Amino acid sequence: MRKTIIASAIFFLLFTYGLVLSQNQLTVIPEELEPKNPVGFYDYKGISNVHTDRGLGSGSPLEVIKAAQEVGLDFLVFTDLNAFEKPALPHGYHRKLLVIGAEEFSYVDSRLLLYDLQKRHALESLGQTQTLLADLLSQSGSEEKQDLIVLAHPLKPGFNWSGAYPAGLDGIEVINLKSVWRTAWDNQKASFFWSAIVYPFNSALSLLRLYEEPERELALWDQLSTTRHTIGMAGAEATARSTPLGVGSISFPSYQTSFSLLSNHVLLNSELTGEAEGDRRKILNAIAEGNFYMSLDVLGEPKGFIATIQDGEKTHLMGSRVKFQPGMKLIVKLPRRPRTPFEAAFLKDGQHLMSSNSVDSELELHGPGVYRVIVRVFTSFTLPDGNRWITWLYSNPFYVE
């Protein structure tokens, strides 16, 4: 009898705790039925570094597309690893979702993402690919961009780049979700297992609580940006089995969960038209220019956020290269005031300059440098985690010469 009472009490406590977890809303910003674009631009949300069952993933292309549609993405970039002689992917529009094909290749000890902006290459073997990548990496970015090469999970153990970073490398994954989970598994096994327990009740919470600021990747990004134009991307590396617990038919985390956590928001000065090839070029060209920001969307809908440099009557979007002029201002606008404490932090060459807790902020520039912005929010987690600051938005840099 006593054992039954104790077991019932434990079950009741766990059930109650699970109910509390399921009700935990992570969003720090009031939701709107139709979020507004920033003035003068259009914000399109998408995911890069996505794997299907053609390679490392567990889902078919159509299953992954369905997951992206359910989350409300505007574009999705498939990057199956070394996918030679595999069935063609269903590129183009699927209802409102634009599906874009790219590739991930093994290169030396690293992994490179290749975005063929002009669809010039028909790669049939890894040897042919190695030759092409070696040629592209040796070229500077001075000519009109035809290919975009991004270093995936640059500091992941076993995949570190060795030697100097080549002139033809266009960007790095500043955030890679699979690396985040792997780091948690390596360094915080007890916390990781707790997240596995939390996952059925609140999948977003279980994974967000493992998120740590990618300080080493940010430092590398700042270092590269002081010498060249270097885009910073968020990569899902979604496989639906991206942790040691993903076995058999268990998807941990699922594609839907991965897609809802983190994305890249591309800013365009004109709307997408619905014509697949033209819209593909617009999205990829904007990414190549750095006209986008990274967002932990699970913390709130960021649409409406924008960071620009104002030079008299001229407006320069993130990713721009501009010549310094006295009176220049870096202006940041948030879509709405968060419900929790927040700050917009301005950085120059990786060093903190100032912070603001206003929805609209500005910083007068006093000289050349590489400037970027982050927005941090104070987030409430369920016990035993408590509260902590976490970065919600990361802009790409401005290059002021």
Predicted confidence (pLDDT) per residue in 153-206, tens digit? 999 888 888 888 999 999 999 999 988 888 888 888 888 888 888 888 888 888
pLDDT at 279: 97
Better-scored residue on pLDDT, 372 or 247: 372
CA distance 21 to 27: 14
Does the structure show a pLDDT above 60 at 250?
no
DSSP E strands in 118-246: the ranges are 147-151, 171-176, 231-238
Give the per-residue pLDDT at 15.
54
Handedness of CA 239, 245, 251, 252 (dihedral sign): negative
More confident of the two residues 189 and 123: 189
Lookup result for tokens 């014509």 = 275
Span 338-365, pLDDT tens digits: 999 999 999 999 999 999 999 999 999 9
Helix (H) or strand (E) holding 68: helix 61-71
Mean pLDDT of 263-268: 98
- Bridge-based pairing of strands 147-151 and 110-116 is antiparallel
Q: What does pLDDT average to over the chain?
A: 88
Flag the least confident range among 251-265, 288-302, 337-351: 251-265
Q: Are strands 171-176 and 231-238 parallel, antiparallel or unpaired?
A: parallel
Percentage above 70 pLDDT, the chain:
89
pLDDT at 369 over 80: yes
pTM over 0.85? The answer is: yes
Compute the residue count for the chain. 401
* pLDDT tens sequence across 6-29: 666 665 555 565 555 555 667 888
The burial of 3, by beta-carbon neighbours within 10 Å (0-12 exposed, 13-18 middle, 19 or more buried), is given as exposed
3-state secondary structure of 294: strand
The type of residue at 153 is: H
Residue-wise pLDDT for 52-83, tens only, equals 988 888 889 999 999 999 999 999 999 988 87
Phi, psi of 351 (to 5 degrees): -105, 140
**Mean pLDDT, residues 259-275:** 96
Pairing of strands 75-78, 263-268: unpaired
Angstrom CA distances, 334 to 37, 46, 73, 112, 360, stand at: 11, 19, 21, 33, 6
Give residue 44's pLDDT band: very low, low, confident or very high (50, 70, 90).
Answer: very high
Assign 154 to helix, strand or coil.
coil
More confident residue, 135 or 290: 290
Residue scoring higher pLDDT (50 or 139): 50
Is residue 137 within a helix (H) or strand (E), and if so which, with residue range?
helix 126-137
CB 332 within 8 A of CB 373: yes
Residue 244 has pLDDT above 60, yes or no: no
- Quote the CA–CA distance of 393 and 339 in Å, as a whole number: 16
For residue 384, say if its preceding peptide bond is cis, omega within 30 degrees of 0.
yes
pLDDT value at 242 more than 50 = no
Tens of pLDDT, residue by residue over 374-389, are: 999 998 877 677 789 9
Residue 12 has a pLDDT of: 58
Going from the C-alpha of 356 to that of each of 39, 63, 231, 250, 360, the distances in angstroms are: 21, 42, 25, 43, 9
92 vs 274: CA distance, rounded Å: 9
Q: Is the pLDDT of residue 143 over 70?
A: no
Q: Is the pLDDT of residue 93 over 70?
A: yes
pLDDT of residue 383: 66
Q: For residue 248, what pLDDT band results from cuts at 50, 70 and 90?
A: very low
- What pLDDT score was predicted for residue 63? 94
